[in-house]
Amino acid sequence: MFINFIDNLNKQDLDPAEKLRLYVKDVSAIEISNNTRAQLVFREITNPSGVCNDFVKSKLLKIHEFLLSIVEEGKAVGTIYPKLDASHVAFTLESIISFFFLTKHLVDEDKTYLSEVLNSYLASVIKV
């Protein structure tokens, strides 16, 4: 489901900043509606079973490459600050999402919380 979402988003002819905004909006909805997937991914990362390890790594790499390409494109067209390291921006977005799902039981679970946090981060990397 998630990989299909990023494949479809990548095919759309949108400004890179808009792709990032759509990614944030849709990934928030996907993750909140299906939080068991996140638990499986984190379990494989922290304690690899050998059964899903390669599968999880390949999917996480695909997500990172997708975000990296959007950020690089945004830098090239001038919608993302050019001095930012594209890999760091992509990794930070991934980390924010991961941290939310590791700690969401510690905060009031608001369906808009993750998208608000991610949009706050995007405001620091996207030129207005």
Q: What percent of the chain has pLDDT over 70?
A: 86
**Is a pLDDT exceeding 70 seen at residue 60?**
yes
Distance CA 125, CA 109 (A): 26
Domain assignment present for 7: no
- CATH of residue 87's domain is 1.10.357.10
Domain assignment present for 4: no
Domain assignment present for 60: yes
Range of the domain at 48: 17-125
Distance CA 97, CA 32 (A): 11
Domain assignment present for 58: yes
For the chain, what is the domain count? 1
Domain assignment present for 63: yes
Bridge partners of 80, per DSSP, are 126
Domain assignment present for 100: yes
Domain assignment present for 52: yes
Domain assignment present for 12: no
Distance CA 16, CA 101 (A): 25
The string of pLDDT tens digits covering residues 69-96 is 999 999 999 999 999 999 999 999 988 8
